[in-house]
Amino acid sequence: MLTRRLQVLIDEDRYSRLEQRARQRGTSVATLVREAINASFPQGIDRAAAAQLLLDAPLVPIDDWAALKAEIEAGMERGG
């Protein structure tokens, strides 16, 4: 349940970009702002803990570096 109100002043360009994205996604500007907050400040894990999880992950053997690199680059081009 939403119980707190937040007022933030931004310039017209930023607001226009938010409105455009909200229309594209069929959602509200407020929802986009809440999602951005969640992405920037996730609950339950901090950066140090996230880094430690990555460092503790088992190594994965790479048989074909060129193929893996191409797959990573293709994902980046798709925005994923």
Nearest in space to 30 (alpha carbons), one of 51, 50, 59, 5: 5
- The helix/strand/coil state of 53 is helix
Q: How far is CA 31 from CA 13, 14, 43, 57, in A?
A: 18, 15, 17, 34
Q: Residue 19's pLDDT is what?
A: 96
Q: What is the mean pLDDT of residues 36-61?
A: 84
Q: Is the pLDDT reported for residue 43 higher than 70? A: yes
Q: How confident is the model at residue 8 (pLDDT cuts 50, 70, 90)?
A: very high
Q: What is the mean pLDDT of the chain?
A: 90
- Spans of all domains in the chain: 12-77
Q: What is the mean pLDDT of residues 33-60?
A: 86
Q: Residue 30's pLDDT is what?
A: 96
CB 29 within 8 A of CB 18: yes
